[in-house]
């Protein structure tokens, strides 16, 4: 019997997950069916219950249901607990296991695909939302020299720093605190680029930057990436590699084998122009 998987979100028409997992199934020889589910707002539990009752083995979760998935799960990984959000679940009887692969997918893209080590580097993260929360443990595991979170609401950044206090030192502040500071790698984890806006980051932070990474994908040369390019940053990237790598992590978790991600990244990459 073909094993069933899906991605659930609202809206969901734009999701690339069926394409990605279909390609992964093909290269690994796995017999799976992967579909999209547009979950009704306020109806996440009922939609997932129905999917499980029909034989569903696992789900990817996207906006706005990552918090609902956290509440639905019976078992959480450390990454999911820290993030307080879930982007993948698998079902075994009454067990609902939850994971968050966003951060580990991001790190794998940066370190393995882009060849940019985080170890010993000064890392700046713009924004203190769910994407940043999910990335902190994977970032700290790479042993950066410094990790700083800048956010309009400083208290929110401070909460994230406190949540990982036992794993490593994380600095935080507002955007004004970035004046006079320089970083080797800068991540834009704000939602500004989705609106074609620029977070209030001074161009001086890029003075010695090796990489500027936009977590949004498929948006071309966003205002953030353009600012970094004009500042002379050597390498620019968007989140397409992160998307492919977090999907590969979920696929391996479900199926026990990790697919090669290169073909997916090549297919989904939009030129940064």
Structure tokens at 117: 């080590």
Catalogue the active-site residues. 66
Secondary structure (DSSP) of 155-169:
HHHHHHHHHTTTT--
Residue 154 marked ligand-binding? yes
CB 136 within 8 A of CB 82: yes
Residue 135 marked ligand-binding? no
Question: The tokens 């992964």 sit on which residue?
Answer: 24
Residue 10 marked ligand-binding? no
Residue 231 marked ligand-binding? no
Residue 15 marked ligand-binding? yes
Secondary structure E strands in the chain: 3-9, 32-38, 56-61, 75-76, 88-92, 95-99, 122-126, 146-150, 171-173, 185-188, 211-214, 235-237
Residue 162 marked ligand-binding? no
Residue 219 marked ligand-binding? no
Residue 234 marked ligand-binding? no
Nearest to residue 85, comparing CAs of 136, 134, 43?
134
C-alpha–C-alpha distance, residues 104 and 246, integer Å: 7
| Dihedral sign, Cα of residue 237, residue 239, residue 243, residue 245 | positive
Q: Who contacts 166 (Cβ-Cβ below 8 Å, separation ≥6)?
A: none
Residue 5 marked ligand-binding? no
Q: Cis check for the bond before 209: say yes or no (omega within 30 of 0).
A: no
Residue 78 marked ligand-binding? yes
Residue 56 marked ligand-binding? no
Residue 55 marked ligand-binding? no
C-alpha–C-alpha distance, residues 177 and 175, integer Å: 5
Residue 77 marked ligand-binding? no
Annotated binding-site residue numbers for NADP(+): 78, 127-131, 151-156, 215, 239
* Residue numbering of the annotated binding site: 15-17, 62, 78, 87, 102, 127-131, 151-156, 215, 217, 239, 246
Provide the annotated binding site for shikimate.
Answer: 15-17, 62, 87, 102, 217, 246
């Amino acid at each position: 019997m073909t094993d069933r998987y899906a991605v659930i979100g609202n809206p969901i028409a734009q999701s690339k997950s069926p394409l990605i997992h279909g390609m992964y199934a093909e290269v690994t020889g796995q017999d799976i069916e992967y579909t999209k589910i547009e979950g009704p707002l306020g109806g996440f539990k009922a939609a997932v219950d129905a999917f499980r009752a029909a034989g569903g083995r696992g789900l990817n979760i996207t906006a706005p249901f990552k918090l609902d998935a956290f509440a639905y799960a019976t078992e959480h990984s450390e990454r999911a607990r820290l993030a307080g959000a879930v982007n993948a679940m698998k079902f075994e009887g009454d067990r609902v296991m939850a994971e968050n692969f966003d951060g580990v997918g991001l790190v794998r893209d940066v370190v393995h695909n882009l060849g940019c080590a985080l170890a010993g580097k000064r890392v700046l993260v713009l924004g203190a939302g769910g994407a940043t929360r999910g990335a902190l443990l994977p970032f700290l595991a790479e042993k950066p020299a410094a990790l700083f979170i800048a956010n309009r609401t400083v208290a929110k950044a401070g909460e994230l720093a406190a949540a990982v206090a036992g794993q490593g030192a994380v600095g935080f502040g507002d955007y004004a605190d970035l004046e006079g500071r320089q970083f080797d790698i800068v991540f834009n984890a704000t939602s500004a680029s989705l609106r074609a806006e620029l977070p209030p980051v001074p161009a001086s932070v890029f003075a010695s930057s090796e990489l500027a990474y936009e977590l949004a994908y498929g948006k071309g040369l966003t205002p953030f990436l353009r600012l970094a390019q004009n500042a002379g940053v050597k390498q620019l990237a968007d989140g397409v590699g992160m998307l492919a790598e977090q999907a590969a992590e979920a696929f391996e978790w479900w199926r026990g084998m990790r697919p090669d991600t290169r073909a997916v990244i090549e297919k989904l990459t939009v030129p940064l122009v």
